[in-house]
Amino acid sequence: MVRHKRKEKFTTFENVYGNKLQLYLENRDGAVRIRLTNTLYDIWFRKSILLLAIAALNLSCLVYDIICKKLIIVVFFGALYMFFKLLCIVREGTCNLSQHFDPSGTQSSVFTAKTNPTPHMRGIRIKRHSTPKCKISLPDILVMVHDLGMQLKTKYLLNKSSKFIPNESIQHIFINEVIFRSKIIYTLNLLLVDIVTKEERILPLFHELLPRLSCLEVIYKNIRKKCH
């Protein structure tokens, strides 16, 4: 019996740079599954792997005729090790978005869920930390919302990260208007509170893909249904 994989339905949007984004929405088992991918990264990655494989094959055939077989094997595996080591360095993290913001830090809440935005949310700077600045990554971001909380997953070339946020920690979900590189853009954010210390912090969603407002509105509405 041959099983045919069901083709996922998606909606195409654009990010602030004009690149195509594919948004997959799926409601199942009392949860909503939201996945956002950058088609430009996906195409670039496939072409790069193909070209790299062809170039490596041609080079190995050329070098094989010149150098001994043992040396070729050592060089090949050494280069392969360095390549994978470089890719493994790239991790999900988080860079300081405030360095790209307007010095005044002007932000305003556009949409909010659960309750109205609190006054201290205005003018707050969204910060995240990053390790290396190199962007050898294929962001494939998944948000799984269910009765227990929210599961965030980000996939990269050779690694992925995952984070679970319980419902008790989610105070608000809102779309903020911010200034990014002299442009007005919109970001989807969660206002979280630590259950123990009661400390509040803001967690931006899909900040690496930077989707436009039309895409964020669709994501916001689907997440809000499960947050209530």
Q: How confident is the model at residue 1 (pLDDT cuts 50, 70, 90)?
A: very low
CB atoms within 10 A of CB 78: 10
Among 87-91, 139-143, 217-221, the range of highest mean pLDDT:
217-221
φ and ψ at 44, to 5 degrees? -60, -40
Of 138, 124, 122, 113, residue with least CA distance to 41:
138
Of 189, 186, 210, 206, residue with least CA distance to 92:
206
Model pLDDT, residue 201: 93
Written as six digits, the tokens of 25 are: 């929405």
How do the domains of the chain map onto residue ranges? Answer: 16-42+90-227
Model pLDDT, residue 66: 66
Q: Is the pTM of this model over 0.85?
A: no
Q: What is the pLDDT of residues 75-113, one digit of tens each?
A: 777 777 776 766 655 433 333 333 333 334 444 444 444
Q: How confident is the model at residue 125 (pLDDT cuts 50, 70, 90)?
A: very low
CA–CA separation, 182 and 196 (whole Å)? 38
CA–CA separation, 17 and 167 (whole Å)? 33
